[in-house]
Amino acid sequence: MRELLGKRLVGVLATLEPDGAPHVVPLWYAAHGTAVVLATSSRSRKVRNLQRDPRATLCLHDSRSGSEVCGASLQGLVDVVGGPDATDLVDMVHRRYLSDAGEMLPDVRAFLVYDDVALVLEPAHAWTWDERDNPASVALRSSGGALPLESTAPRA
d(CA 81, CA 7): 24
d(CA 132, CA 45): 35
3-state secondary structure of 57: strand
d(CA 89, CA 94): 9
In a domain, 119, yes or no: yes
pLDDT tens string, the chain, 156 residues long: the values are 889 999 999 999 999 999 999 999 999 999 999 999 999 999 999 999 999 999 999 999 998 887 888 999 999 999 999 999 999 999 999 999 999 999 999 999 999 999 999 999 999 999 999 999 999 989 998 999 998 888 888 877
The pLDDT value recorded for residue 127 is 96
In a domain, 151, yes or no: no
In a domain, 107, yes or no: yes
Instruction: Tell me the whole-structure pTM to 2 decimals.
Output: 0.92
Look at the chain and report how many structural domains it folds into: 1
The pLDDT value recorded for residue 155 is 79
In a domain, 156, yes or no: no
Contacts of 87 (CB under 8 A, 6+ apart): none
The pLDDT value recorded for residue 150 is 87
The one-letter amino acid code at 138 reads V
94 in Cβ contact with 40 (< 8 Å):
no
In a domain, 103, yes or no: yes
In a domain, 64, yes or no: yes
Contacts of 119 (CB under 8 A, 6+ apart): 13, 27, 37, 38, 39, 40, 46, 47, 50, 56, 78, 79, 80, 81
Structural domain boundaries, residue 89 = 2-142
- Domain with residue 14: its CATH number is 2.30.110.10
How many alpha carbons lie under 13 Å from residue 77 in its C-beta half-sphere?
Answer: 5
In a domain, 150, yes or no: no
In a domain, 44, yes or no: yes
